[in-house]
Structure 1
């Protein structure tokens, strides 16, 4: 079969073809995902090329919207109507929620044949399972608590890359005086919360983060520490621009790329945008842990849940897709384009840039030291109903000129009770 393969994917396709990935009964896999921006689209193309190299057909079902909310709405309507896609980009507790509906496929045979339990950290493999059985496959690990900066903008403002929140506001003020938007932000609730959880981690530490935003402990949600978190969080808004409401995250990243803004608090998918724009880490852009979070790591693992389908050839294609996702060739090329790091524990990071190497190093260190925590902003920590209510409470506080931190804490406690 002749493939129209982008140059950057040819080594991957060649490697898979040499592995003898040809099947007599080729199937089709319809894949629902929300990777539509520059770096993400390249990563999706890698997955498509991987499946095509196995002789199967990829039916793309992309739904725009960085947070994936629109994609989940579409998925629900498809499943309810009895027309589920073979694979859908789902993650965190949502995998278990779909599993309870009895609509997910069992991938234990693929997992056992490819030693997934050995290759994955337990904290990750547990998320991929429903009642102890694999129903999803992880493609990567994202670090959420990153700070991105334009070095030329910092130089123009005579400012430095901040390592704590006090330094952050000194740098923000210097950028503002230099006529540069200090913080590129998109006013969508998941973006608001991405910033919020980095503040919570930096101000309160990993133990406070776990109690407040993973265990949803009422005392922690209504504490002096949370009041300081909310006050610090709201202070950041004064350093964003008036056009922030509704802006997509990648457009905020573009502001930093162009030097219109100095900094952005965003996960490492932002790096994919810098790379896609031809920028070099350490030269054209800087990466660092969000202020105060150098010894912590909020993780976001992208994964594909596999739905029950009836066609035998398509079931074979579905299992081949699951196996291919965990293959080292795919893990490398996908994550080089996505800005994330491989989810396999035994990967060679030689081809990755310094930002990714730092991410991988910190991932291992925090897993051992207790600083590795799931991102609530990105669907890894709590059930979707509670997550949505908490995000709304935080965004309401961000957007209100009148709401006090005490009132916001009351809303957080109420939101945490949402089932």
Structure 2
């Protein structure tokens, strides 16, 4: 075999060394710190956060936790406001959509339209989600996942034992609940905390009135919807469910309520998809049979909440580069898959293959895509209303649930009054 010798030009090794040094210097110059406020420090949430951190580090950047609070208390948000007002904000913060809009109005958020245009966010995101991430037409925040709110979880062994069928309508729901109650089961697992009361009511309102009514009431805040016949029917249906819960529900944590479905003490629970890991674990460890189906009357609708990051204006090219890379990472197919597999939610990016996801996630993903096409996606109230209005409405609905003396008419008037609230200048510090 003949070997051909290629002589290197004079100075070749020196040139290579210089080029390598330049590339290394460029990489260092572009590497930046991303300081992030988030709420993912335990369990599956922490595993999901590690996906984001590892992805950013592979690009040469560093991740710094600004503040982490698993219970979402107000301290990190107060600290966030102090830092923003002092001119030293973090690069990104996990906060609710209405609060993102408030920060945008204060002129402190950065837009990432260049990333959005290059990666076609208007195409890969449902319009309802994309619009929530924009301020005056520009992207100032990025979503990373979707949680479905309008789920009904059922212990199938309880359902079979009482001879009932999986309900698709409210009449079928109450027929199944009656059968469970007669057989000595708690038909509906519930925790009597205000946020759980309101979450339950959201699914009832969507199932009774439909997506158009829901948007008129909880997005547009139309008085005619908040105090109209559909709202009255929704409130009446909501109160009817109370008879199928148990007296110990007052103040109960949602995890404890879910556990009663796992053990077979209770038959059904209306709760978002964050309840799924408990049922999956019981299925694996104890052979539990469960169903995840849309809340009655909501098969063609999808009430969603997304985790999203607002992007604050930062003052160095390296930090800006890290921030833009982070924005791009969040919606990349690889991160969407890995993050949501870890967290138990589903990708917010449309059209991804969910072959590796569980059956409930696949059902959720198909429903999410279908609702996006049919314009039946609706935001959870926490996604659509500023915190003061959400708080006032939640208090009104929870009071109605806990006090049978309060009428539907009085509650509707409280909802109308809540819709008239206007935020003061401090409201951006509240709400996740």
Give the corresponding residue for 1:403.
Answer: 406
Are the counterparts in 2 of residues 151 and 285 from structure 1 also a CA contact under 8 Å?
Answer: yes
TM-score under structure 2 length normalisation: 0.82
Aligned residues: 394
Give the corresponding residue for 2:192.
Answer: 187
Give the corresponding residue for 1:3.
Answer: none
**Mapped pair 1:224 → 2:229:** yes
Distance (whole Å) between structure 2 residues aligned to residue 206 and residue 321 of structure 1? 33
Q: Paired residue for 1:95, among 79, 89, 100?
A: 100
Deviation of residue 199 (structure 1)?
A: 0.5
Change in Cα spacing, 1:317 to 1:259, as seen in structure 2 (3 Å) is farther
Partner-residue secondary structure (3-state), 2:64: strand
Are the counterparts in 2 of residues 142 and 340 from structure 1 also a CA contact under 8 Å?
Answer: yes
Deviation of residue 142 (structure 1)?
A: 2.2
Q: How does 1:100-249 map to 2 (within 5 A)?
A: 100-249=105-254
Distance (whole Å) between structure 2 residues aligned to residue 173 and residue 43 of structure 1? 40
Give the corresponding residue for 1:47.
Answer: 52
Q: Paired residue for 1:336, among 338, 341, 354?
A: 341
Pick the structure with greater CA Rg.
2
Query: What are the ranges of 5 or more consecutive residues in structure 2 without an aligned counterpart?
Result: 1-25, 423-432
Query: What are the ranges of 5 or more consecutive residues in structure 1 without an aligned counterpart?
Result: 1-21
Distance (whole Å) between structure 2 residues aligned to residue 101 and residue 151 of structure 1? 51
Partner-residue secondary structure (3-state), 2:168: coil
Are the counterparts in 2 of residues 40 and 272 from structure 1 also a CA contact under 8 Å?
Answer: no
Q: Paired residue for 1:62, among 62, 68, 73?
A: 68
Q: How does 1:289-368 map to 2 (within 5 A)?
A: 289-368=294-373
* 1:59-95 per-position Cα deviation (integer Å, ceiling 9, x unaligned): 33321237x7675455445434555332111232322
Partner-residue secondary structure (3-state), 1:304: strand
Tell me whether 172-181 or 131-140 shows the greater mean CA deviation.
172-181
Are the counterparts in 2 of residues 138 and 302 from structure 1 also a CA contact under 8 Å?
Answer: yes
Give the corresponding residue for 1:10.
Answer: none
Change in Cα spacing, 1:183 to 1:37, as seen in structure 2 (3 Å) is farther
Deviation of residue 323 (structure 1)?
A: 1.3
Are the counterparts in 1 of residues 351 and 369 from structure 2 also a CA contact under 8 Å?
Answer: no
TM-score under structure 1 length normalisation: 0.85
Superposition CA RMSD, Å: 2.7
Partner-residue secondary structure (3-state), 1:149: strand
